[in-house]
Amino acid sequence: MNVFARDLNALLVFSVLYEERNLTRAAERLALSQPALSHRLNKLRQEFNDPLFVRAARGLTVTPTAETYAPSVQRLVRELEGLYQELGQSDFLQRTDKVTLYSTDLVEHILISELLGRTRQEAPNLQVALRDTHGKLPKEALQNGQCDIAIAGFFNDIPGGFYQQFLCSHAFVVLAHKENPRIKAGLNLEEYIACQHVIVTLSGALEGKVDEILKGLGKTRKVLAGYSSFLAPLDLLAQQKDLLFTCVKPVADIAVKRNNNFVYYDCPIALAKVDYVQIWHERTHQDPLRKWLRSVIKHIMTPP
């Protein structure tokens, strides 16, 4: 078979259709009109002698033949993209591009100011969009290009096709108002459970690891509220002096810096540190601009 008789652009069309499962979104990514994309899809069907992508109630469904060849096609497309990206590495920091980061308000507070300072100086045509992870790995967004990098301390069971890099670890502490009436000197376990608590809950549940450990000790605590934000509880603790907030140390550092009425203590129960990682998909692994950005993130978030 003569490869010169084949249209290698068809492989890119195949790959994008497979990822998007939607003609409109695929056409937007490929910068094609829908009639032009439909024409290329018809050529693909002739090449593979199969319908490949069939209209369904919502978007497109994939035929068994398309499922069979998709891994090989996507690998070839990534290799070709990597080749041309390497050829253009000398000026990749001057590219006009947008990178989308999924993270949390805490990560944004720690990272973004310094990160944007670097991008303004070194990659002046780069825009950075920030979105919330909503407590879970944005798997589909990473796969289809809506997310470039996801950063948090709660990602588990990273699936195949994804890369991860350790950034830092943070221990838990207990944030309190200096005038908390239940704390005498230091913070012991009895004082801890005598106070009411606010927590961060990414699922809506008002019990977590702390409560599991306390139950094992035959004890319980009273949780007043669960927040979806890591930083929002600070306002409540400034007003309600008898509350406690068990949080990672950077949150407590931010609180103490903002308000000298705050203090934090070692947690009276043993909690494992939180490991923060950045996750990305193999589709962006070789892109030089995103490789550079990941290295900057690593430098900022990893302590010396």
- Segment 53-70, tens digit of pLDDT: 998 878 899 999 999 999
pLDDT at 4 over 70: no
- pTM across the whole model: 0.71
Q: Both tokens of residue 284?
A: 């962006």
For residue 200, the domain's CATH number is: 3.40.190.10
Residues 129 and 262 in one domain: no
Which of 22-31, 79-88, 178-187, 200-209 has the least mean pLDDT?
79-88
Regarding beta strands 149-152 and 274-281, do their DSSP bridges make them parallel or antiparallel, or are they unpaired?
Answer: antiparallel
Please say if the pLDDT value at position 265 is more than 50.
Answer: yes
Nearest alpha-carbon partner for 248 in 171, 177, 168, 192: 171
What is residue 1's predicted lDDT score, i.e. its pLDDT?
47
Cα–Cα distance list, 122 to 100, 111, 280, 298 (Å): 18, 17, 22, 16
Among 87, 113, 137, the domain-final residue is 87
Of 34-38, 109-113, 221-225, the one with minimum mean pLDDT is 34-38
228 and 283 co-located in one domain: no
Residue 151 DSSP code: E
Number of C-beta neighbours around residue 85 at 10 A: 16
Instruction: Choose the final residue of a domain: 56, 87, 118.
Output: 87
- The total domain count for the chain is 3
Phi, psi of 183 (to 5 degrees): -105, 125
| Domain termination residue (choose one: 40, 67, 87) | 87
Question: pLDDT per residue over 113-145, tens digit each?
Answer: 999 999 999 999 999 999 999 999 999 999 988
Residue 246: domain span: 172-272
* Residue 66 one-letter amino acid: A
